[in-house]
Chains A and B, each alone.
Chain A
């Protein structure tokens, strides 16, 4: 049960949040022009890193905002939290 610092509300218990998978996967603007393989790459392919991972989280039982988290999956240490649309802080 870690503590996440929501960029809008501050530090809250993990149970208030929902994980939303890998961050910075941008929905293609012109899906119809993609091959099956390219579309599958967007749709299905996700990293599962042991170590530093960029993730989406949603403060679902709070302000309901989505934001990004940089988490070390090996020990759950949260390195950074930043808003949607912002650039990830340098590793």
Chain B
């Protein structure tokens, strides 16, 4: 069945290099240099997909990144599978496998095609309206809609490829290597500026490079040959770096741009191993020159979406560049001169043209005479009113346009064809310009938006700036560059240009038809199946803002972001609403210009490199002793140390018991440590903590609670006075960096008069905490020369001592309620001190315990964990910690907020203990707490914040926050769970050793 439509080998095709590839399961052949689209067209395949909503058959429409229809899935069911790849961009390689998307079971027989027949039921806003239908309807149809809608399939296996990020700084970035970009690159690089030229295509030269016609000449050579020489010249410039297959995705403020450089997608899969697939370039340029060209406009008429209908410029490119005829019976339909360039190219190659249909009545152009000389019939002042052919166009119907272009007149003429090229003029590609914050203006003459106000040091040149003819480009580009780069002259100032093109154009946004609009399907957005009728419906339903019409009709919301049809949507809106185009504005173009894979965005930050992780100096010991770790911020903390076949619960129970019965040892190195010095250090602590610090003696420790200015608990920890003007503060593990930042903020901005210096020393010290009734005996072995009597070294005090030659700070402080010591040593001695303690504790069954047992032990004592038992809504009063709030101090951070009407309410959520009626029942953390389950709606009183089975008390214990809980002591409450209600009694949050006898045991 397949034909070979290769007419003449194009410039970039290597006919000695044949490549086989698979499309929808069948094998085809193409040549090196082909895109998937050009290779399919050479095999006479147009039908490549189905549309999103109506599942209409769709074919290849363009030859570039603006393609709305020909998007395919590559290598389905493999780890390299990728959806939404534009067939017009992917270069073929041996064993490429592509399949159509959006159709089920196949592109030739698609069940969803019924939507086409049902289309009166699927108007604009269909999906929004569906959600408003009865819920029962949605449930029924959800499966069907999900199955038949959606674009492609995500990969389900890990991505095997490597991606990288690269930072680039340059003087000038030029986006687009068409004729104007090449001119700019030469001028900038020759001026000595570090210049980067990028283009999304594999080759330089844009659309001029395949221009081979006597109608377009530069310095008396045809424009394509002239440009080729220029390209060869710029390749030798040493200030110029060129990156092809590089597409700029985003243009941010301050000339910061993101681009994707594609390095391996064109290679056979077996050649990609160990190579970087994509690079995300993060470019900071002093100056940016945008030369992104323009995109040809389609025409909006009934059934303008059939396979075999392409942009006229795409037909030209397939012929000139790839040597492929898109059809054997071609018809061109235009409102401007561009289609005649296509015609001349096709004539040159012997490709048959049936007719040209031109909206314009009277035209005077050399190009047209040339075409007419070849006996090609030109229908002047005509428009297409309909097309036929389900899976491939086979007929067009045309009628004469009325003088005002609002109606069709006369009788219908039918012409048969297998390919239709449409040319509605050109739209400057201003996407990146607007992304950067630039403002557009509307040019009435040819109905285009062009750059007006720039937001940074940049210019747009060439056709993206509205210079749509070769003449304008050659005339204006050197002029703009002289100004932009501050030059007296350039190499191109006296370039001669000759062009036959006539600039006249007859712009009709929505072409008239012999049918009423309601009976037509004139597609504006091909990918999202938005028609002219939908846009008019949206306006009738009251939508006025272009942004609203866009969302309601989904125009411009596909992966192509409406690169083809957005202008027509605007045009139809302005005509219908009677507004002027320039006043309507455009929708916002958002990054990325073309889609990026997640792999490109994350680069090397995958797997173990996803985030940095911090290890304590004792980490290796924990690993050697089979600890399981938990993440606390970026830290890896030993969570518990399972022995034999213990599960987590068994290990935690054993560790907790051992710590209270004999001795436990904990790696507390992750606690934040801030060294505070200066003559105002005491005053500073007075201001940042709720309690008083001036009277703390040297060598003593004190627990402190830090609030936010809104009165809510922010952090806590023990601070030790090392000297007259010297303190060491500890913070929570997770809060360390924030506390440091907050303290610096106050010092620099509110209290610059204070003589205080802060240094983060978290990583400088390792902290080994030994607790339990035998801890004193163990420490006396480790530090024999330290007098451990309560008189010399009482609870909440500090000693500076040596272990051998190692200096250490020992604090007698406790987070478990046990007699306890914390040894702080220079980080690199941490592991040896830990091992010394383990050795000394051997006879006392010293047991390493992890963070889970630590949490359990402190919960038995009712000690809070900031961030677990508190959130940003708990004051110290809510926590029943009134004792730590100084009444005497005039001020501290958050003090005033504790007297706000809201914070002094009695019915705030307050921290309480909870005891289950069944002592073996352990509550779930986060569970709701209620008083009455029979009254609906059930009033939520609070929730469980911490819950454990206490091996030392042999019962379940929990902390929770309950509305008015302070005054509910002894009261019964209920924890409603999915399958049962659990009865609890409100208790004191301190469950064990209320008298603190164990601290000095």
Contacts and interface: CB of A to CB of B under 8 A. Distances in A.
Q: Do A and B bind each other?
A: yes
Interface of A: 1-3, 18, 20, 26-27, 30-32, 34, 36, 39-40, 43, 56, 58, 60, 64-66, 75-76, 84-85
A39 B897 contact: yes
Given A58-B741, A60-B741, A65-B748, A76 B253 contact: yes
A64 B749 CA distance: 12
B873 to A, nearest CB: 15
A59 to B, nearest CB: 11
Given A2-B254, A43-B709, A66 B749 contact: yes
Contacts of A56: 749
Given A32-B896, A34-B896, A43-B897, A1 B254 contact: yes
B748 A66 contact: yes
A55 B584 CA distance: 34
A26 B750 CA distance: 7
Given A31-B895, A39-B897, A85 B752 contact: yes
A2 B745 CA distance: 23
B709 A1 contact: no
A31 B891 CA distance: 7
B238 interface: no
B82 to A, nearest CB: 28
A31 B893 CA distance: 10
Given A2-B256, A75-B253, 10 more contacts: A27-B709, A30-B891, A31-B895, A32-B896, A39-B896, A58-B741, A66-B749, A75-B437, A76-B254, A84-B748
A76 B897 CA distance: 34
Contacts of A85: 752
B749 A43 contact: no
A26 B320 CA distance: 70
A82 to B, nearest CB: 13
Contacts of A36: 900-901
Interface residues of B, number: 23
B745 A58 contact: yes
B559 to A, nearest CB: 25
A85 B455 CA distance: 31
B254 A32 contact: no
A14 to B, nearest CB: 8
A64 B895 CA distance: 27
Nearest to A34: B896
Nearest to A2: B254
A2 B895 CA distance: 38
Interface-centre pick from B253, B256, B750, B896 (highest chain A CB count, 10 A): B896
Contact of A75 (B455, B744, B750, B900): B455
Contact of A1 (B256, B895, B896): B256
B710 interface: yes
The 8 closest A-B pairs by CB, nearest first: A31-B896, A1-B256, A2-B254, A66-B748, A76-B253, A27-B750, A3-B254, A39-B896
Nearest to B708: A43
Interface of B: 252-254, 256, 437, 455, 709-710, 741, 744-745, 748-750, 752, 890-891, 895-897, 899-901
Contacts of A31: 891, 895-896
Contacts of A32: 890-891, 895-896, 899
A37 B748 CA distance: 27
A59 B170 CA distance: 25
Contacts of B254: 1-3, 76
Contact of B253 (A2, A27, A34): A2
A85 to B, nearest CB: 7
B752 A84 contact: yes
10 contacts: A1-B252, A1-B256, A26-B750, A27-B750, A32-B891, A39-B897, A40-B900, A58-B741, A58-B745, A75-B437
A22 B899 CA distance: 25
B904 to A, nearest CB: 10
Nearest to B740: A64
Nearest to B256: A1
B169 to A, nearest CB: 11
Nearest to B282: A1
B252 A84 contact: no
Contact of A20 (B437, B745, B895, B900): B745
A73 B119 CA distance: 45
Contact of A66 (B745, B895, B897): B745
Nearest to A39: B896
Nearest to A67: B748
Contacts of A84: 748-749, 752
A68 B181 CA distance: 40
A67 to B, nearest CB: 9
Contacts of A30: 891
B886 to A, nearest CB: 13
Contacts of B890: 32
A26 B749 CA distance: 9
A8 to B, nearest CB: 11
Contact of B900 (A1, A18, A39): A39
B900 A64 contact: no
Nearest to A65: B748
Contact of B744 (A39, A40, A64, A76): A64
A32 to B, nearest CB: 6
B710 A43 contact: yes
B214 to A, nearest CB: 48
A83 to B, nearest CB: 10
Nearest to B254: A2
A75 B745 CA distance: 27
A36 B897 CA distance: 8
B759 to A, nearest CB: 11
Nearest to A33: B896
Nearest to A78: B254
A18 B437 CA distance: 23
Contacts of B256: 1-2
Contacts of B709: 27, 43
A75 B256 CA distance: 14
Contacts of A43: 709-710, 897
Contacts of B896: 31-32, 34, 39
Nearest to B253: A76
Contacts of B437: 75
Contacts of B750: 26-27
Contacts of B749: 56, 66, 84
A55 B252 CA distance: 21
Contacts of B710: 43
B167 to A, nearest CB: 10
